[in-house]
Amino acid sequence: MPPDDATIVDWLGRDASDPAEVAEQYDAWALTYDGELADWSYQAPGVVADTVVSRSPHAASVLDVGCGTGLVGRELRGRGFTGRLAGLDLSQTSLDLAGQRGVYDRLERADLQQRLPLEDDIVDAVVCVGVMTYLPDVERVWRELARVTGPGGVVVVTQREDLWHDRACPAIADRLQDAGVWTPVEITGPAPYLPLGYGGPPEVRCYYLTAVVG
């Protein structure tokens, strides 16, 4: 049985990071996830898809890290992206639903707190939307996103407004630039993310980070 609204809202406020707990929650939520997020006016998938097609119009491949039920994939295809699209996620039920959309060329279950199951420099762009809440080691994750992206490729991530500061995201972005991992080209926020909050006020906002690898 899908969790009720009160259970979801309570859980989202806890910033869980245990992979087994996250997988269990999203497996249970998957069947009603799209409808819930639509009711909350979820902004991020469309914003990130716009960024990818504008910043990397000739990208032949995109990796959707934490693809869930495939909301970002749908938005990318809706904006004319015709290249190869792969998705990784911890929730198998979410992956099954993403597969039913018919927009991904490859879907694979993966623990995003571990090394990603891809070779270096393998895709032209990486997106990670609505996922960093559950990945507390921000620098390790961002290095992994950059590792699988080819030189000159684009990485686009979101981070919730409160965690952007609590997890020192600006300092990490700068440190990766100093190390030659990437160059941030745009950071926007606090920006609309869930204007209607988790089922009602207050609004939840986020930061959008776009970086070019190498």
Quick check: pTM over 0.75?
A: yes
Number of H helices, E strands in the chain: 8, 7
Residue 4 pLDDT > 80: no
How much of the chain exceeds pLDDT 90, in percent?
Answer: 83
pLDDT one-digit tens code per residue, 149-199: 999 999 999 999 999 999 999 999 999 999 999 999 999 999 989 888 776
Residue 148, pLDDT score: 98
pLDDT at 195: 86
Over residues 2-11, mean pLDDT: 53
pLDDT in tens, 36-68: 999 999 999 999 999 999 999 999 999 999 999
Residue 211: predicted pLDDT = 98
Q: What is the pLDDT of residue 8?
A: 56
Find the mean pLDDT for residues 18-25.
Answer: 90
β-bridge mates for residue 75, sequence order: none
Hey, what domains does the chain have and what are their CATH numbers?
A: 5-213 (3.40.50.150)
pLDDT band at 7 (very low <50, low <70, confident <90, very high): low
The answer to whether 189 and 207 have CB atoms below 8 angstroms apart is: yes
Binned at pLDDT 50, 70 and 90, residue 17 comes out as confident
**Tokens, residue 41:** 């006016």
Residues 6+ apart with CB under 8 A from 31: 2, 93, 97
Burial class (CB in 10 A: 0-12, 13-18, 19+), 189: middle
Segment 108-144, tens digit of pLDDT: 999 999 999 999 999 999 999 999 999 999 999 999 9
Tokens 């998938």 belong to residue: 45
pLDDT at 197: 79
